[in-house]
Amino acid sequence: MNDWAAPLIASALFAFLSPGMVVQMPGKNHPVDFLNMKTSLPSIFVHAVLYGLLLILFFVVLHIHLYV
């Protein structure tokens, strides 16, 4: 049995937290911009930190597993 939780959660978070895809924090003109398809260095840094923190939450703190 393979544990598919790690690649599925990591892929979903990567797609959702890509700067400018759904949400951009910080935005160019506002603290949060939605669906603007643009990015900046501060936004890339904030999204990378959030991505890492959410991965730690799911895998280290919550011990999420999905066996298929």
pLDDT exceeds cutoff 70 at 1: no
The answer to whether residue 34 is domain-embedded is no
The answer to whether residue 47 is domain-embedded is yes
Domain residues for the domain of 43 are: 1-27+39-68
Residue 3 pLDDT grade (very low, low, confident, very high; cuts 50, 70, 90): confident
Rounded percentage of the chain residues whose pLDDT exceeds 90:
6
Domains: count for the chain: 1
| CA pair distance 43, 24, nearest whole angstrom | 6
The answer to whether residue 55 is domain-embedded is yes
pLDDT exceeds cutoff 70 at 18: yes
Asked whether 22 and 16 are in contact (CB, 8 A), the reply is yes
Query: Can you give the pTM of this predicted structure?
Result: 0.75
CA 28, 39, 46, 18 torsion: positive or negative? positive
Mean pLDDT for the stretch of residues 58-66: 84
The answer to whether residue 32 is domain-embedded is no
